[in-house]
Structure 1
């Protein structure tokens, strides 16, 4: 769902313009493990299974986006953080699948996400979330075909920025080194991304997205 490249266990200190490539390389194994718990491409996916995945994602994105806003919003306008929020899109999809405000409020949130109080770690998390948006276009195409004619909503979360998904990713890549210009901080950005992948993988496993659930 999110990009792949050679993984090295010892993060390098990159040139600022190469930070994206370094993140991709240093998180490859984390990404691959996280991908394995996302089963939205399954030919056997049911509407209830799709809903369970979105519920689990909501439990991650709600606290992540709140922390990112606290740490980054207003400090780095070039990141366009408000435009990148996915929680409203998840809420739109979940309402289309039967949730109401009261049931959304009861959905469990991840209780122990890594701290995003510092800029480098927050940028690492944002890298993962934006990469997921880019990679989610493949999932969107599958869901659109798989659920053709079904009443499952409009896939707002995976549609994300619509035709602007590519430009938004490019803008993030250009803004990232400006938000983290100090070379010595790059390994912390990498660690933040790795921790985010690990939290994603663990939460989806713990959420039992293949098990029955009810509103």
Structure 2
């Protein structure tokens, strides 16, 4: 019987947190407007900007196989927001999340990155919906949800392999538990931030 990998454990042991966070993403609503879409991107920017800065200080140089410099999403969010009318001054005024997941070390950072990379994989369904929903509308190129293009699958597999190798190298239940807790904390922080920022858009047409 094969041993359960850390990636498999992450999926199983964070499922309730994942489902709650996913329920806060309302981009599949039939009444979605361009204003709602822009506001959601603004909320994402407010979360990713400080979080990616924290992750960069923990991961850059530590695990080159992760290719973290190819995985940052903030430049894609900036591209989308500028296409929707933002400039440097208006971006600087956007609120930033202050209740971020605690990232005391590499295990928690890996758990956090699992959430961000998984959202890229899951974002393919949202991308197709947005392309249909806003067909003929000047909504931009959906750069954030188009991350990695045709390489989405290979990038996810490479990430999973790196996480599993790190777990095997550590051979420590404590390490794995910290990775899983980092993912749970990230899902929870993401859900809290999105619900806080989307409170003014509780009713869609």
Gaps of 5+ in 1: 1-13
TM-score, scaled to structure 2: 0.93
Q: CA deviation at 1:96?
A: 0.6
Q: For 1:71 and 1:117, how far apart are their aligned partners in 2?
A: 9
2:183 counterpart residue number: 193
- Establish whether residue 202 from structure 1 lines up as the match of residue 192 from structure 2: yes
SS of corresponding position for 1:156:
coil
Runs of at least 4 residues of structure 1 off by over 3 A? none
2:81 counterpart residue number: 94
Q: Deviations over 1:79-99 (max 9, x none)?
A: 010000000000000001110
Asked if structure 2 preserves the Cα contact closer than 8 Å seen for 1:67 and 1:117, the reply is no
Range 181-190 or range 84-93, more displaced: 181-190
2:27 counterpart residue number: 40
Gaps of 5+ in 2: none
- Establish whether residue 153 from structure 1 lines up as the match of residue 118 from structure 2: no
Asked if structure 2 preserves the Cα contact closer than 8 Å seen for 1:65 and 1:85, the reply is yes
Q: Deviations over 1:115-169 (max 9, x none)?
A: 2230000000000000000000000000000000000100000000000000000
- Establish whether residue 49 from structure 1 lines up as the match of residue 36 from structure 2: yes
Q: For 2:156 and 2:41, how far apart are their aligned partners in 1?
A: 22
Q: CA deviation at 1:210?
A: 4.8
State the number of aligned residues.
Answer: 198
Q: Deviations over 1:36-78 (max 9, x none)?
A: 1110001110000000100111111111111111001011100
Asked if structure 2 preserves the Cα contact closer than 8 Å seen for 1:53 and 1:209, the reply is no
2:151 counterpart residue number: 164
Asked if structure 2 preserves the Cα contact closer than 8 Å seen for 1:121 and 1:191, the reply is yes
1:137 to 124, 135, 149: 124
- Establish whether residue 175 from structure 1 lines up as the match of residue 165 from structure 2: no
Q: For 1:31 and 1:40, how far apart are their aligned partners in 2?
A: 16
- Establish whether residue 21 from structure 1 lines up as the match of residue 21 from structure 2: no
